[in-house]
Amino acid sequence: MKTLTPLPPTRSIKGPALFPILSLIGLAIGLVYFGWITDRSFFYCMVAIFGVAFLILSFFSIQTGLILMTLAMLFSPEITIGTIGLRELTIRIEDVLIPILAMAWLARLAIRKEFQLIASNPLNKPILILILVSIGSTIWGISQEGTTLLPALFYFLKTIEFFTIFFLVTNYVRSAGQIRFFLYFSLFTVALIGIYTLFQVPNTEIFTEHRITAPFEGVPQPASVGGYMMFLLLILLGLILYDRHSMRRLFYVMAAGVTFIPFLFTFNRTSYASLVAGLLLISFLSKKPWVFGCLFIFLLTSPLWSPRAVKARIAFTWEDGIQEGRELGVDQSFEERIGTYKKMWNSAKGSPVIGWGVGSYDYLDSQYARTFHEIGAVGLGIWLWIFFRLYRISRWLFKALPDGPMKGLTLGYTAGLVGILVHAFGVITFYIIRIMEPFWFVTGLVVSLYTLKVKEEAS
């Protein structure tokens, strides 16, 4: 496959190019000294040192920076610094790494006198329009007291952070080899998460805080780790179907196994439904009768092999629905998710076109309800436009590529897109860091693969 020429390694940096690096080192030393003489928190001093070290490391090796960022997405501790509405305001390591990595990338471009800040790709336009609409609707919402600045800024910057991951990957990745490298590292990360959560399985209990949780998560958030596992499980299945390398396929099977067991014990029905939706799409797109047959048997026999606790969690949906006051015949949690749309509309109908601004709706039960309230029908339509473009890109790649790991990636990613969209019915998926950061990282790989393939076809 013909590829773009990778960026050459940095050989030497002289004169003015050293000034910003030395200045940042001096700044870090100054912050440490300030923390020492004023008895400030030692933590902030260490953040300054770590940040400058990461900047220098990333400047010389963007690949290393991306690897560390990928690890931080799932293994980063959270530090609570306040609250916004119903949620705690937390800072994670990658909240520092991502902007620093972007700075390192910009510094490399400046030194090499390359002026294309963002590589051309089909998502640039809809992402830019989404950002502008979000800003416009938020300004309108603040002026009408529909939202306030702090929550709006927090959630807006979080979304920008996700898009930054995407742009960093699409700007750096220039070859199929790089795509494979970062893909395998992402799969290695999910395998580590699978092993980590596998040890939690014996202690899990329904309706308690003893649920499957990612590292350093504090209060368990099964919908977050379940959504992440769902997305990567579908990619692993696509690779199992189309990668012919026996040792790699064995790794995929093992990674899927250690991930699927704790996935079941998340007891998160939204993640279950998302996985089933993705599996149905894989069976349809692969056009392999035996895949459809295996899926049919898998679902048909699920009452036999599913753990008792999982069956109890699913059955509770209807068992609790017979209680007095259940108007829809389902349990309270399910009913509240359905009722979210009614609550949203009571407020959103005052500004249905552009919404009341980012951060104006604090319910956690549905991304679609929240997006409609925040940025209106226009903003929700742009989000769906982005996902529709991604679906077309991955479908085209799946048809155009020969059998192999890249074809398996595109199949699993296409199914993962559908899974993410289903997941968003019951969770504010587009705001969940542990789902969206890996999602936009892999999306960057898929869009980079699309760019390479289009150039190959054109030549």
Same domain, 176 and 280: yes
Count of structural domains within the chain: 2
Same domain, 11 and 127: no
Same domain, 204 and 323: yes
Count of positions (residues) in the chain: 459
Q: Select from 67, 100, 117 the last residue of a domain.
A: 117
Instruction: Name residues whose C-beta falls within 8 Å of residue 224's C-beta, 6 or more positions apart in sequence.
Output: 214, 217, 427, 432, 433, 434, 435
Closest CA to 190 of 149, 143, 226: 226
The pTM assigned to this predicted structure is: 0.87
Q: Select from 96, 117, 138 the last residue of a domain.
A: 117
Same domain, 139 and 237: yes
Q: How much is the average pLDDT of 420-441?
A: 94
Q: Which two tokens stand for residue 171?
A: 């700007």
Q: Which amino acid is it at 336?
A: E
What is the per-residue pLDDT across 134-164, written as a single tens digit (0 to 9) for each?
A: 999 999 999 998 888 888 898 899 999 999 9
User: Which of 103-114 are b and which e, b meaning 16 or more Cβ less than 10 Å from the residue's Cβ?
Assistant: bbbebbeeeeee
Same domain, 303 and 318: yes
Same domain, 128 and 100: no
Q: Select from 50, 82, 117 the last residue of a domain.
A: 117
CA distance linking residue 79 with residue 11, whole number of Å: 38
- Domain hosting residue 141, numbered range: 122-458
Residue tagged 């149905």 (tokens): 280
Same domain, 185 and 85: no
The pLDDT assigned to 95 comes to 80
Per-residue pLDDT band for 12 (boundaries 50, 70, 90) equals: very low
What is the per-residue pLDDT across 391-412, written as a single tens digit (0 to 9) for each?
A: 999 999 999 999 999 999 999 9
Same domain, 181 and 95: no
What residues does 84 pair with on adjacent strands? 87
CA distance linking residue 269 with residue 197, whole number of Å: 18
Same domain, 63 and 194: no
What is the per-residue pLDDT across 24-65, written as a single tens digit (0 to 9) for each?
A: 445 444 544 444 444 445 556 666 667 777 777 777 788 888
Same domain, 270 and 237: yes
Instruction: Kindly report the number of other CB atoms within 10 A of residue 427's CB atom.
Output: 24
Same domain, 208 and 71: no
pLDDT above 50 for 326: yes
453 or 209, greater pLDDT: 453
335 or 369, greater pLDDT: 369
Same domain, 398 and 344: yes
CA distance linking residue 384 with residue 430, whole number of Å: 12
pLDDT above 70 for 2: no
